[in-house]
């Protein structure tokens, strides 16, 4: 799946750029594997390179950068797998809402302005009129 947005509004800084995909509400279990910044994280840390959680966990809604894959499944382990395509970074997260689960797939997510300083500035998303925003990912159905 590839997407392209021809930005025509005034120049702006964005928090995220990507697609939101509605999947069945029963898909509330997430697993992931990603490249992480550090080699060791405490068990259950939000930045860990691999893990799993359910919709009630804050990790479900937290962005996971540098993904190799991310899955959302229901109680029978049926669901979807989100994977990067060659040369395109992938960030993913989800949110359980009334009647559905929303899967967010992005190539970039900017952080809030806080103690992170220069790291945050290096990840700013600049939207300029006449400059398209684009991304891509693979989305596959999975079953037990």
* DSSP codes, 89-139: --EEEEEEETTEEEEEEEEEEPPPSSTTTHHHHHT-EEE-TT--EEEE-EE
Lowest mean pLDDT among 9-13, 19-23, 66-70, 108-112: 108-112
126 band by pLDDT with thresholds 50, 70 and 90: confident
- Condensed to tens digits (0 to 9), the pLDDT of residues 25-61 reads 999 999 999 998 888 888 888 888 999 999 999 999 9
Residue 113 has pLDDT above 60, yes or no: no
Q: Where are the domains of the chain?
A: 2-142
d(CA 109, CA 130): 21
Lowest mean pLDDT among 37-51, 58-72, 75-89, 100-114: 100-114
């Amino acid at each position: 799946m590839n997407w392209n947005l021809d930005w025509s509004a005034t120049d702006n800084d964005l928090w995220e750029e990507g697609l939101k995909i509605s999947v069945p509400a029963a898909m509330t279990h997430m697993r992931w594997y990603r490249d992480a910044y550090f080699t060791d994280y405490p068990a259950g840390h939000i930045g860990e390179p691999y893990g799993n959680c359910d919709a009630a966990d804050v990790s479900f809604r937290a962005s996971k950068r540098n993904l190799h894959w991310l899955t959302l499944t229901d109680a029978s382990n049926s669901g979807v797998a989100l994977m990067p395509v060659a040369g395109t970074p992938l960030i993913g997260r989800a949110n359980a809402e009334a009647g559905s689960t929303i899967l967010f797939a992005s190539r970039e997510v900017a952080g809030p302005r806080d103690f992170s300083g220069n790291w945050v500035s290096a990840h700013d998303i600049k939207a300029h009129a006449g400059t398209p925003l684009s991304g891509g990912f693979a989305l596959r159905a999975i079953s037990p």
